[in-house]
Chains A and B, each alone.
Chain A
Amino acid sequence: MGAFGDIGYGLFAIAIGIAVSLAVYKGLDLLVNLFSEKLQKKIRALGFLLPAALLLVVILLIPLVQTFYLSFTNKSGKEFIGIQNYVDLFSSPEFLGILLNNFLWIAFVPAITVAIGLLVATLGNNVGPRREKIFKSLIFMPMSISFVSAATIWSFIYVFVPPGRPEIGLLNSIVVALGGEPQPWLIIDTARFNSFLLMIIIIWLQAGFAMVLLSAAIKAVPEETIEAARIDGANTVQVFFQVIVPQIRATIMSVFITVLILVMKIFDIVLAMTGGQFNTSVLGFEFYKQFFLNFNTGAASAIVTILTILVAPLMWIQIRSARKQEALR
């Protein structure tokens, strides 16, 4: 059969998939048509939302409830053991260290990302259109790199080689050129230094994303408001903080929260750079370890439940701010 067979089956499946979807909607439409005209108007939209809602329930809501239940079960996920998993987690100093790491990630990364994005967007808007293009492309480029590739790139920056061996680490080369001693960067956990080194990677990746959205928002700020402020004698800094920033607050918020949620779920960078060793582990990685390496269903589910509980309010804020933004338009 070979590759052609696979492609054939793939195309066949796509065709069937589209046909079935069409049939489902057509069927729903016919069903709705059975009702009185007045009712039809009301329920047609609901009827068309039904398949999507069902899918959400099946692939999101049910697993969520299931995970919540499993977090009260033992290692194999078959025996109910109450809140033991949570007690174990919160009484383990390692887990508290992991929570501290997550806290540091969310305390620093989103804020710094937004700040850098804002700075680059503003400066980029002031260097002329040609330079702006080059400048912004460079900042945006890391966005197109996957997390694991980024980790690989940065591992060459942070790498430490034993004394006497050919130096291949960029950071250590710089340190040595400046007259310092090479350092094993990723194992220095004093004041969680190594976690901060990992955070730099995400900031590097996400600053471009922040820049693009913020730059667009800044450009949408009506020129009149800025001119009016200038005429009233406001300097550049005042214009920026008191005229521009208040008008793009909604965008800042949504960029901030998007990065925040991404950071809370951070996993790939930790896996690829340190494997969670030397006090760099985070919730996302701990879940992976418990579930895929230790086969500990109960503990893994408890960790994910904690993560979900922490992320949920943020998502609510984001949805609310998105709604507000829409209301403004």
Chain B
Amino acid sequence: MKAKRFLTAAAVLAVAGMSLTGCAASAPAGDGKVTIYGAYGEAQAAAIQAELDAWTASDEGNPTVTFTSLASFDTDIKVKIESGQAPDIGVWPQPGGLLDQADNLLPLSDVVDLAPIQETLVPGWDTLAQKDGKVYGLPLSANVKTLVFYNPSEFEKNGYAVPTTDAEMTALIEQIKTDGTGYPFCAGIESGGATGWPITDWIEQYVLDYYGVDTYNQWIAGDVKFSEIPKATDKVAEMLLTDGNVNGGGTSMVTDGFGNTAPLFETGGKAKGQCFMLRQGSFITDFFPDAIKAEVAAEDYTHADVFTLPAPEGASAGVLGGGDLAAAFTNDQDVAKVLNFILSDKLGTIMAEKSSFVSPHKTFDNALYPTGLGKKVGEAMANAEVFGFDGSDRMPSEVNAEFWLAGTDWVAGKIDWATAADRIQAKY
């Protein structure tokens, strides 16, 4: 009992202490201090702080900026807001969470001139966090899922070239099957309780490509039905569920872990279940076999490299991914200065070097990405005609869960897409 009381007292003191420092930060205009709360991990948080410090030092008029990472951002920021400790700027990992707080935020146009920022952004980012025609959030950094990992030495051995168009991709798939050298794709979707999410990424990718970002966003909101995206689902079926495209077919896909990358580095051919391509987010390198991981870390891309998944004929080249979006709680000249910097294509010189940073701007200097892999991922973003924020995480959780389940049953061949679509739609 007493212990608890002591802890309570300590907690009260700590909160009181925090609120004191919080008060100092949200003082009126021109006090030379700006606070930012974000959701970055340790490495990225350190990198952005270093970059902000360098920016502060670069000009005498620039304010001092403190970046603080909150452990579970979406929940923690709500607590901070409710207790009157909101920062000057919040950086959300999800546009949904940001817009939930729109009442507490300022439209960005009140603080900064949006036109020059939006001009250099990859399309799709500019209207992502928009409510009632007002933009509340714009991106600082991004990550990319429209990536295909492949094994260059195996491509070379068999005389395959990296496909740059969808037609070349189709031809390559046919070539691999005719040659009997292996299977075109590795596409395990098993992930324990989250089994099915990788297939939702595939479908999202082609909804974005075929139907554009507006329809994509309406689809996520539930206004466009799951049965109304046949081009996307047919394309996924063609790529993955066609006989011989994935080792063992849909049955293997649903039992094979998404992180099972070993067949991509197999050299024994079809008999050993070798595959040639793996579409995944950049994080998948963590799931590579240790030897390959070490190679990639040493910038040796003999056995693992990446290209952008080509968009289908007559569709736009959409990039699927995620990112962190900044929104303003307060408005003064210092905040405006900081926002103008962090939302521009100038942010990233230090972050790109020290963390897995990808700029959401078309105009970001590609040479700033330190590794060959990083340059390609950055290129994938910069060259995208349109960006789509990873959809299923933005759907209501029940819909998302059913998308995984029904998608898995569809891949396993237990139900057709019409049934799967009905099941998912019923959860809205």
Contacts and interface: CB of A to CB of B under 8 A. Distances in A.
B1 interface: yes
Interface string B186-202: 00000011111000000
B2 A16 contact: yes
A271 B193 CA distance: 7
A127 B273 CA distance: 50
> Main SS of chain B's interface residues?
helix
A163 B248 contact: yes
A164 B255 contact: no
B3 interface: yes
B1 A16 contact: yes
B153 interface: no
A160 interface: yes
A278 B271 contact: no
B405 interface: yes
Nearest to B268: A164
B251 A165 contact: no
A275 interface: yes
Contact of B397 (A186, A278, A295): A295
A189 B254 CA distance: 14
A293 B405 CA distance: 13
B70 to A, nearest CB: 21
A163 B256 CA distance: 11
Interface residues of A, number: 25
A161 B405 CA distance: 21
B192 A162 contact: no
B400 to A, nearest CB: 9
Given A163-B273, A293-B401, A184 B255 contact: yes
Interface string A13-26: 10010001000000
A277 interface: yes
10 contacts: A160-B255, A162-B247, A163-B248, A165-B262, A184-B252, A187-B412, A275-B195, A277-B409, A278-B409, A278-B414
A275 B272 contact: no
Interface string B1-38: 11100000000000000000000000000000000000
Contacts of A278: 409, 412, 414
A137 interface: no
Contacts of B193: 271, 275, 293
A164 B401 contact: no
Given A293-B401, A294-B397, A162 B256 contact: yes
Interface of B: 1-3, 192-196, 247-248, 251-252, 254-256, 262-263, 268, 270-274, 397-398, 401, 405, 408-409, 412, 414
Given A13-B1, A275-B195, A293-B193, 6 more contacts: A162-B248, A162-B256, A164-B274, A186-B255, A275-B193, A294-B398
B263 A277 contact: no
A189 B262 CA distance: 29
A164 B272 contact: yes
Interface of A: 9, 12-13, 16, 20, 159-165, 184, 186-187, 189, 271, 275, 277-278, 289, 293-296
Contacts of A289: 401
B247 A164 contact: yes
Contacts of B2: 12, 16
A277 B248 contact: no
A162 B2 CA distance: 59
Q: Give 10 nearest A-B pairs by CB, closest first.
A: A164-B273, A162-B248, A162-B252, A162-B247, A294-B398, A9-B3, A275-B193, A165-B273, A164-B272, A160-B255
A163 B193 CA distance: 24
Nearest to B191: A275
B289 to A, nearest CB: 13
A62 B267 CA distance: 63
Given A275-B192, A277-B195, A13 B248 contact: no
B247 A293 contact: no
B251 A184 contact: yes
Given A16-B2, A294-B398, A162 B263 contact: yes
A277 B398 contact: no
A164 B192 contact: no
Nearest to B274: A164
A107 B409 CA distance: 27
Contact of A164 (B196, B251, B270, B409): B270
B6 to A, nearest CB: 8
A161 B260 CA distance: 11
A187 B409 CA distance: 9
A169 to B, nearest CB: 10
A187 B189 CA distance: 14
A13 B6 CA distance: 12
A13 B3 contact: yes
A103 to B, nearest CB: 22
B401 to A, nearest CB: 6
A9 B5 CA distance: 12
Nearest to B253: A162
Contacts of B398: 294, 296
A163 B252 CA distance: 8
Contacts of A294: 397-398, 401
Specify which of A187, A289, A296 lies most central, judged by the most chain B CB atoms within 10 Å of its CB.
Answer: A187
A295 B192 CA distance: 19
A165 B262 CA distance: 9
A275 B408 CA distance: 12
Nearest to A290: B398
Nearest to B248: A162
Contacts of A9: 3
Given A16-B1, A293-B397, A162 B273 contact: yes
Contact of B251 (A20, A187, A277, A295): A187
A278 B250 CA distance: 13
Nearest to A294: B398
Contacts of A277: 195-196, 254, 405, 408-409
Given A12-B2, A12-B3, A293-B397, A187 B254 contact: yes
